[in-house]
Amino acid sequence: MKGSQVSDWRPTAPIENLIFRAASLKSIRDFFAARDVLEVETPLLCRHSVTDPYIQSISASLHINGKENKYFLQTSPEYAMKRLLAAGSGSIFQICKAFRQDEIGRLHNPEFTMLEWYRPGFDHHALMDEVDALLQAILQTQAADKFTYAELFQQYLGINPHTATLGNLFECLAANNIELSSELLPALGQPYLQSDDLAPASERSQHDFYLQLLLSHCIEPKLAIERPCFIYDFPASQAALSRIQPGNPPLAARFEVYYQGIELANGFHELADANEQRKRFERNCLRRQQMNVDEMTIDENLLAALAAGIPDCSGVALGLDRLIMLASKSTHLSPVISFDLSNA
């Protein structure tokens, strides 16, 4: 590549990869047609976006009747699809673009393709089986392994993620030679540190952060090398929009699936309780304030749909670019995306 400032007009993906991509899309559509799952399209430009404190949405100014309105490019079609579910759509799937601010890397393009689908009547285990079937079809892999979050940490790091203290987590990081910048190492003995150890299960953000580092730096690279691997039953504090199963410890009905060390999808047995959902959104907003991040208003239409009643269902969001990257044996997203950020 020449070191030129002007980008190349050529696509970042070779044409044969685009042909492969089209064939994969057809296989995916056939997969869902055989299962009577309806294909839908929902808006990418909406008045609201997610309140998740760690996701930044890209906004656009939409002129309506001469006035400027701030709209958001969707980070996932979830909210609109849940409104469809509440309206009686039945099982639905969507292949669409999603957009995220500040996510750029070998496996991240700010504009990417999502495959998202919802299954009334499925719990997260049934949906894992369906995701497994899809991966076998598209990646030609064998049936996936499945581990709970606790089993995974026990097996790879010898710790119980639900009961480990922050001190235990730091020791584990050090034992695995993970070096952190000073910003990521809070001074030991600080009150914040101690209170987080005692915080109720739903608010342990510091624990979750270090657990996440251990997962991404120490476990993920070794995970699912030969066949896909599901991780399920996450700590309740990492539930996002999934149901929480009461117990000791309470667990989130959430799963992720990996292949060759790469996270492909995130699924939930969806939370249907509008009040609980509102509480989680409010906690997100508070966290956004604490982190000094842009304020996001709550999507009342989603909450109204939940209150009107969505069927008991599970849903999953899968990174389609990554799936196709793996299926085509590429190591980066760019060879499977027609024009990535570098020359879009």
Partner 1 sequence: MSIYGLNEIRSGMKLIIDGDPCVVVENEFFKPGKGQSVNRLRYRNLKTGRVIERTYKSNDSIEGADVVEVDAQYLYSDGNEWNFMATESFEQYAVHEAEVADAKIWLKEQGECKLTLWNGNPILVTPPNFVQLTITQTDPGVKGDTAGSGGKPATLETGAVVRVPLFVQEGETVKVDTRNGEYVSRVKE
**Binding residues vs partner 1 (CB under 8 A):** 52, 54, 102-108, 178-181, 183-184, 208-209, 212-213, 215-217, 238, 240, 256, 263, 266
DSSP 8-state assignment for residue 187 = P
Which residues, 6+ apart, have CB-to-CB distance to 51 below 8 Å?
Answer: 281, 284, 285, 288, 296, 298
Q: Which is nearer to partner 1, 317 or 327 (CB)?
A: 317
Minimum distance of partner 1 from residue 157's CB (angstroms) = 16
Note the Cα 39 to chain centre separation in Å.
Answer: 21
Of 253, 241, 185, 173, the closest CA to residue 213 belongs to: 173
Bridge pairing between strands 262-269 and 313-319: antiparallel
- Cβ of residue 68: shortest distance to partner 1, in angstroms? 28
Q: Closer CB to partner 1, residue 66 or residue 105? A: 105
Is residue 228 a contact partner of residue 263, using CB atoms and an 8 Å limit? no
State which residue, 104 or 188, has the beta carbon closest to partner 1: 104
Tokens of 12: 């970042």
**Least spacing, CB of residue 180 vs partner 1, in Å:** 5
Closest CA to 310 of 120, 124, 123, 51: 120
Q: How far is CA 86 from CA 80, 92, 270, 304, 314, in A?
A: 10, 12, 12, 9, 13
- On whether the CB atoms of residues 165 and 210 are closer than 8 A, the answer is no
The answer to whether 157 and 259 are in contact (CB under 8 A) is no
What gap in Å lies between CA 8 and CA 25, rounded to an integer? 27
Considering the complex, state which of residue 37 and residue 253 has its C-beta at the smaller distance from partner 1: 253
Q: Cβ 234 to partner 1, closest distance in Å? A: 9
Nearest Cα residue to 48 out of 10, 18, 83: 83
**Cβ at position 19, least distance to partner 1 in Å:** 29
173 vs 313, beta carbon nearer partner 1: 173
Cα angle value 293/237/321 (rounded, 5°): 70
For partner 1, the closer CB: 42 or 76: 76
- CB of residue 218 to partner 1, shortest distance in Å: 11
- Taking the complex as a whole, how short is the minimal distance between the CB of residue 64 and partner 1, in angstroms? 32
Please identify, using beta-carbon distances, which residue of 12 and 56 lies nearer to partner 1: 56
